[in-house]
């Protein structure tokens, strides 16, 4: 399984990265985890414009889903289109919300390009991948994912505050993509996002083999997030996410 970080900027695109989007590939199948603002552009550096086979949306905040609207244009109106529908595994109300973002809420326009499949906690098969979805600790319906193939696994926290579910989801994974949106200090708000320290604590509790800190919000110095993570008691390899980084898990 190959994991490519397409976008890792938290909450909005930054100068060096789009918002959340991760490309997972195995056996020629391409699965996107999230499709945040600006990610369709950078995605084309890593795969053909028409080559997305399935999408999982963790939640419906704009920085995780909005480029599905742009990808609808690609699938339906490109000179080679219309192209076959792509399954989109997403929380409740995704089609209505994305139709509203694209055009009108009650016009099923996005359904020309996508088959919306309701996410629920549990395990499903998507192409060659086994995908486990688990509810995270965020103000809206949000799922973290564990994706496995060929004995390798990656977990993605999506957006979350502290979460026992995340520890379970990431148990012994090869790679944990964990959000670290906040920095340590006064004024922290619980149940929305994690700091680097909290991300490292979750990685340690889960026994994750490596940790990539992601959903990095451009108004913070990422080195401060990394320094926070060093205080979390995690001994595995820890690094900052970077748009374009590739992890070949074998």
- The residue range among 24-32, 76-84, 119-127, 151-159 that interacts with Zn ion, by the rule CB under 5 A, is 151-159
Q: Which is nearer to Zn ion, 11 or 153 (CB)?
A: 11
Shortest distance (Å) from residue 217 CB to Zn ion: 9
Q: What angle (nearest 5°) sits at the alpha carbon of residue 229, between those of residues 181 and 21? A: 40
Minimum CB distance to Zn ion, residue 215 (Å) = 6
Does residue 159 touch Zn ion according to CB under 5 A?
yes
42 CB neighbour count, 10 Å cutoff: 20
φ/ψ of residue 77, rounded to 5: -110, 0
- Report the C-alpha gap between 84 and 156 in whole angstroms: 27
Stretch that binds Zn ion, among 37-45, 154-162, 224-232, 235-243 (CB under 5 A): 154-162
Residue 228 contacts Zn ion per CB under 5 A: no
Least distance from Zn ion to the Cβ atom of residue 14, Å: 12
Minimal distance in Å, beta carbon 61 to Zn ion? 4
- Selected range binding Zn ion among 77-85, 119-127, 157-165, 205-213, rule: CB under 5 A: 157-165
Alpha helices in 148-215 (DSSP H): 164-169, 196-206
Binding mask of the shown chain, residues 58 to 87, with x at each position contacting Zn ion by CB under 5 A = ---x-x------------------------
Which contacts qualify for 151-155: CB closer than 8 Å, 24 or more apart? 152/1, 152/249, 152/250, 153/249, 154/1, 154/3, 154/24, 154/247, 154/249, 155/206, 155/208
Q: Which is nearer to Zn ion, 15 or 151 (CB)?
A: 15
The span from the CA of 108 to the CA of 222, in Å, is 40
Which residues inside 22-61 make contact with Zn ion, applying CB under 5 A? 61
**Shortest Cβ distance from residue 2 to Zn ion (Å)?**
24
Cβ distance to Zn ion smaller for residue 61 or 197: 61
Shortest Cβ 58–Zn ion spacing (Å): 8
Instruction: Strands of 61-187 (E only): list them.
Output: 86-90, 114-118, 122-126, 129-135, 143-149, 152-156, 175-179
CA–CA separation, 164 vs 113, rounded Å? 36
Helix (H, G, I), strand (E, B) or coil at 221: coil
23 or 65: CB nearest Zn ion: 65
Residues in contact with Zn ion, total (CB under 5 A)? 3
The neighbouring-strand residues paired with 149 are 152
| Least distance CB 248 / Zn ion (angstroms) | 26
Footprint of Zn ion on this chain (CB under 5 A)? 61, 63, 159
């Amino acid at each position: 399984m190959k994991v490519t970080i397409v976008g890792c900027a938290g909450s909005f695109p930054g100068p060096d990265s789009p918002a959340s989007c991760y490309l997972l590939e195995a056996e020629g199948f391409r699965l996107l985890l999230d499709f945040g603002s600006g990610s369709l552009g950078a995605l084309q550096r890593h795969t053909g414009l028409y080559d997305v086979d399935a999408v999982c949306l963790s939640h419906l905040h704009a920085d995780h889903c909005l480029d599905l609207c742009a990808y609808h244009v690609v699938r339906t109106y490109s000179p080679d289109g219309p192209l076959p529908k792509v399954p989109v595994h997403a929380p409740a109300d995704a089609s209505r919300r994305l139709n509203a973002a694209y055009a009108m809420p009650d016009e099923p326009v996005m359904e020309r390009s996508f088959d919306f499949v309701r996410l629920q906690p549990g395990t499903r098969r998507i192409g060659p991948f086994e995908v486990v979805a688990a509810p995270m600790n965020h103000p809206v319906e949000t799922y973290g994912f564990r994706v496995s193939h060929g004995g390798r696994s990656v977990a993605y926290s999506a957006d979350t505050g502290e979460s026992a579910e995340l520890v379970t989801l990431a148990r012994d994974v090869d790679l944990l993509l964990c959000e670290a949106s906040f920095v340590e200090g006064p004024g922290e708000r619980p149940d929305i996002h994690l700091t680097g320290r909290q991300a490292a604590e979750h990685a340690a509790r889960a026994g994750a083999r490596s940790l990539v800190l992601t959903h990095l919000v451009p108004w913070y110095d990422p080195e401060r997030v990394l320094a926070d993570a060093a205080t979390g008691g995690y001994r595995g390899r820890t690094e900052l996410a970077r748009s374009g980084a590739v992890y070949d898990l074998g």
